Structure formats: structure tokens, C-alpha cells
Structure 1
């Protein structure tokens, strides 16, 4: 990484903190410069389009790496309890990804500043969840007979599995401002999965 890359990364880190704390409109370029300890105007050397370019970069940054961080394996699953365990493990990994400081800040910035973002920029969360949903679908398809479902049932089942994750994740982050997956939340999610998967 070059010195220029380091400085860009530092600007993005500081801006992410300030945007998450004060909002995009509440953060001035002067405040960014002061917090960074750089001369007025130097910010434009690294981000010629100023604050908006920084916001766009924060939101877009790392989408592919976020998706690639979620890996899971349903091979060897031969009973519903094991399937529920594997899905719960996946839920925990997704939860940890969303609540990691940089991703949590990006999530909150996206929610707060969605009117300033293009559809593409504000859809990073959906893109991640759609990719995960596809992985779950592909992993569950060979297990259809084991859970007494047809192949045609798997897309609907996968949607419902993702609904469980999204509802609990969004309720915790947006409504309760709770980043930790509590024991109560885990128990509720497991109960819902068991209800869904056990015939």
C-alpha cells in the first residue's frame, strides 16, 4: 500500500466515524481536515469530488470482501437438528459481519443518508443478503428430501429462513440499538427455524 493509499484509507476511516456520529450534513470538510490534521484543501487531492465522493466510497467499499467473508458448508448434514445448527452458525457469522465496527457504521450511514445515495450505493446490504440467500438455497436443495420438501419448496423455504435473519438483525440494530446477538435472540431464531424445518 502506498503512502497515498494509506492517506485515503485514513480519510475514509475518520469520515466513517464522523458520518456515523454526526451524519453527512453535520460533518464539514473543515472538521474532517481538522480531525485528520491536514491542510484545508488537501482532502480534495485524494477525493476530488469532496464529501460526496467520500460518502459514496464508504458505502461501496468492501462489498465483495463482505460477501466473501461469509462461507459455510452444509455437506454431511443428515438430520434437521444438524441443519438448524449449521443455519444458526451462518446467522451468527452474518450477524458478526454486520455488527463489526466498520460495517455497522456503513449500515447506519446507509440507513441515515439513503436519500443522498444512488440505488446501487444504498443496495449493498441487499446485495450481501441476496448472495447469502442464494448460497443457502444451493446448499438446501440437495437436502429437500431429508426435510420432507420438494425442490419447488426450497426457494420459498430459503426466503423464510432469510426473513428470520433479517427481521432479528434489523430489529436489534435499528430498533433496539443492540449489536450483540443475545441468548434470547438466538433461542427465538432457533425456535423459528425448527418450526419452519420440522414437519
Structure 2
């Protein structure tokens, strides 16, 4: 392994261990010494990669989360031929969003951002809002291609997208944060689909 690759690997390892500890114990309760011990590295090595210590690690974890999540979210309803097909595609999109947020790294970053938001800059703590807006805009633009199917004019499409996003967001917060569950139950998924069905058949 080349030196640059080894260095990048070590940096990623520090971030992975810190993310896990911050999510499990909290930022304040986690010390750099504990991170070093878990990694089996000398105390000074962490500061070589992150000169500003824990705060810089926390900032990096949040920034990585923003970039990865926004880039991963794509949507297209152009091939939907009926309200029923659109409903199924929206549920498939909900499942993809769920998998994205409930995967290990993303879930931990989600928990850390909510729990440690007072320690983050406005830009860092707003990544959830950034993602919500990004998803909502994607849904709105995708719905523009099928506005005739749901009997919407172009001015109503973004309102419909906002309602759909609020359904998805409420479910994510309720199950992942409040109930602390990584799996979405059939009952919850059925409820989401029922609300989408009602909206599309208004």
C-alpha cells in the first residue's frame, strides 16, 4: 500500500471509530484517548490527521454525510403510466431513502447531528434541511413529468412534493430517532403507502 493510500486509510479508520463512539456514547463522553485505544495507535497520531482534535473529527463526519447523501438521491417517474404505478414508484423511492438513512454510517451521522447540533456550525447542523429540500425538489421535478396522471397543474406539483416529503420525513424521525429502530415495520410502511394513496387520489 502506497503512503498516500495508507494515510487515507488511517484517516478513514479514525473517522469510522469516532463516528461509532460519538453515536453510541455522545461527543462529550468520548475522549481522544479512547479513540486511540480502540484503534491501537499512539496518542499523537490522531492529531497528525486531525490537528484540532475531536471537533475537527465531528465536523468532518458531518460534512462527509452531507456530500454522500445528497449525491445518492435520484428519482424518475417518467415511465409511470397510472396513479397505481406512480404510487408503487413513490414507495420504492421511500424504501431507497430508508435504506440510505438506516445504513450504519448514515444512521450514526444522523444520530450525531441531532444529538450534537449545539456543537455544530449552522451549515453543518442544517444538512438535514439541505437533504430534505434536495429530495423534495427531486420529487417535484419528477412529478412534473407525470402531472397529468395525478390531475395536477404545474403550480400544484411542488405542493404535492412537499406533502410527500413531510410524510417520509415524519416517518424517518419517528422510527429512527424516537423509536430507535433500524427496520421499518410492515405496519409503518402500509401507513405511509395509505397516505400516499390518499394524496394521489385526492
TM-score, normalization by structure 1: 0.96
Partner of 1:125: 128
Partner of residue 176 from structure 2, selected from 165, 173, 178: 173
Judge which range, 87-96 or 31-40, deviates more.
31-40
Partner of 2:193: 190
Partner of 1:63: 66
Judge which range, 61-70 or 171-180, deviates more.
61-70
- Please say if 1:108 is aligned against 2:111: yes
**Residues 78-115 of structure 1 deviation map (CA, whole Å, 9 limit, x = unaligned):** 21110110000000000000000000000000011000
Point out where structure 2 has 5 or more consecutive residues left out of the alignment: none
In structure 1, distance between residues paired with 2:79 and 2:64: 35
Question: Pairwise CA RMSD of aligned residues?
Answer: 1.1
TM-aligned CA deviation for residue 127 of structure 1: 1.6
Partner of 1:135: 138
Point out where structure 1 has 5 or more consecutive residues left out of the alignment: none
TM-aligned CA deviation for residue 145 of structure 1: 2.1
- Please say if 1:162 is aligned against 2:162: no
**Residues 95-139 of structure 1 deviation map (CA, whole Å, 9 limit, x = unaligned):** 000000000000000011000001111122222221111111011
Name segments (4+ residues, structure 1) moved above 3 Å.
Answer: none
Partner of residue 33 from structure 1, selected from 31, 36, 58: 36
- Please say if 1:13 is aligned against 2:16: yes
3-state SS in 1 of match to 2:182: coil
In structure 2, distance between residues paired with 1:132 and 1:98: 13
**Residues 27-67 of structure 1 deviation map (CA, whole Å, 9 limit, x = unaligned):** 01111111111111211100000110000001111423322
In structure 2, distance between residues paired with 1:20 and 1:76: 40
Partner of 1:94: 97
Aligned length: 199
In structure 2, distance between residues paired with 1:101 and 1:76: 32
